[in-house]
Structure 1
Amino acid sequence: MSVILYARVSTTDQTIEHQEAQARKAGFQIDTVVSDQGASGLSTKLADRSEGRRLYDMLRMGDTLVVRWVDRLGRNYQDVCDVIREFMRRGVTIRTVINNMTFDGATTDPIQQAVRDALIAFMAATAQAQAEATKEAQKAGIAHAQTKDTKYLGRKPTYDRRQYQLVMDMLANGEGVSTIAKEAGLTRQTVLRIKGKAPDQAEANLLAWGL
């Protein structure tokens, strides 16, 4: 039985190493890391990514698949639901680093199955909704940055894009401000500023400073 970490990054501001470090810090004993670089989770299904296909070939009954959160598998609602259910049918346990969620096919109780499947659907829907909101915020941020006075950039952010995205992901998952601050390496005040800032304004500020 193997513990396999699947990591996915879609931009240069994210790193596979950070996702692996997060998993090990959370106590996971990783045997193998499988990763896709520059792969969109919204437009590309897991099975259509080079290392995603490898993951399908590798996983066996009794294995544990670890992901930072379900959005690493993808940000398409139907694909994420199908992937998790397929792996559960194979006897694979899926665990998330954030929120320490566990999904498996062990239960035969129909009520517990319904609750589990509803939770999977909710998390998959959240992943897609967040991806679509991020795309819209980026578009608005670019437009905002292009129209603002280039002589005044505003206050330079005390966080980079990776930290910003991590904060947004954890806020969407319901994590507390103190937990997020510790994980992202930021102060509580910075996390609160990010939380209170409109996404397009935050995007514009990052773009203006080249972050």
Structure 2
Amino acid sequence: MATILYARVSTSDQTLDHQRRQAEAAGFHIDTVIEDHGVSGLNVRLTDRPNGRRLYDLLRSGDTLVVRWVDRLGRNYQDVCDAIRHFLDRGVTIRTVINGMTFDGSTSDPIQKAVRDALIAFMAATAQAQAEASKEAQKAGIAYARTAEDGRYRGRKPSYSRAEFRLVQDMLTQQAGTSAIARATGLTRQTVLRIRDAPQEAERVLASWGM
């Protein structure tokens, strides 16, 4: 029985090492790492990714698939639901680093199955909604940046990088406190609060500065 970490990084600000360190810090002992770089989770299905397809070939009954969160499998609602259910039917256990969720196909109780499937559907829908919101924020930021080239003021340059922005979001998802996040990222507590309270605006500012 193997424990396989699937890591997907879609931008230069994300790293495989970060996802592996998170998994190991959460107590996972990883046997194999499968990674995909520069692949959109919204538009490219797991089976169509260079290494995503390998999961279907490698995973066997009794294996554990570890992902940082379900959005690493994809950000398309139907694709994520289909992939998770396929692996569960094969006897694979799926575990997330964030929030420590565990999904398996061991239960035969119809009520428990319904609750499990509803939770999977909710998480998949959340992943797609976040991706679409982020995409719209980036479009708005790019459009704003183009008008700025004509002499309009873009506002103050953000004090955080895109990598720091993503780390703050990750830690917020794990319900870390703002003071703890500030210490971990080196950002001020006020900056963390701005990102927490207005994440789309924070991403738009990054995009407007081409960050």
Please, what TM-score do these two structures have when normalized by structure 2? 0.89
Q: Quick check: 1:42–1:74 contact (8 Å CA) kept in 2?
A: yes
* Aligned partner of residue 44 in structure 2, secondary structure: coil
Q: Quick check: 2:59–2:92 contact (8 Å CA) kept in 1?
A: yes
Shift of 1:124: 0.2
Query: Counterpart of 2:105?
Result: 105
Q: Quick check: 1:141–1:202 contact (8 Å CA) kept in 2?
A: no
1:194 and 2:174 matched: no
C-alpha separation in 2, matches of 1:58 and 1:183: 39
C-alpha separation in 1, matches of 2:140 and 2:208: 13
Q: Quick check: 2:7–2:35 contact (8 Å CA) kept in 1?
A: yes
Matched residue type, 1:193? R
Structure 1: state its 5+ residue gaps.
none
Can you list the C-alpha shifts for 1:88-117, whole angstroms capped at 9, x where unaligned?
011100000000000000111111111100
Shift of 1:153: 5.2
C-alpha separation in 1, matches of 2:180 and 2:95: 20
C-alpha separation in 2, matches of 1:162 and 1:80: 25
Residues 58 and 179 from structure 1, CA distance in 2 versus in 1: closer, same or farther, beyond 3 angstroms? farther
C-alpha separation in 2, matches of 1:183 and 1:60: 41
Please, what TM-score do these two structures have when normalized by structure 1? 0.89
**Which range is displaced more, 145-154 or 64-73?**
145-154
Query: Counterpart of 2:181?
Result: 181
RMSD after superposition: 2.3
**Which range is displaced more, 181-190 or 156-165?**
181-190
1:125 and 2:125 matched: yes
Residues 126 and 166 from structure 1, CA distance in 2 versus in 1: closer, same or farther, beyond 3 angstroms? farther
Aligned-residue sequence identity (percent) comes to 67
C-alpha separation in 2, matches of 1:142 and 1:62: 46
Query: Counterpart of 2:67?
Result: 67
C-alpha separation in 1, matches of 2:203 and 2:182: 22
Can you list the C-alpha shifts for 1:122-168, whole angstroms capped at 9, x where unaligned?
00000011111111000001112222376855443232112213434
Residues 24 and 152 from structure 1, CA distance in 2 versus in 1: closer, same or farther, beyond 3 angstroms? same
Shift of 1:207: 3.4
Question: How many residues get paired?
Answer: 209
Query: Counterpart of 2:93?
Result: 93
Structure 2: state its 5+ residue gaps.
none
Matched residue type, 2:163? R
* Aligned partner of residue 50 in structure 1, secondary structure: coil
Residues 21 and 96 from structure 1, CA distance in 2 versus in 1: closer, same or farther, beyond 3 angstroms? same
Q: Quick check: 2:178–2:189 contact (8 Å CA) kept in 1?
A: yes
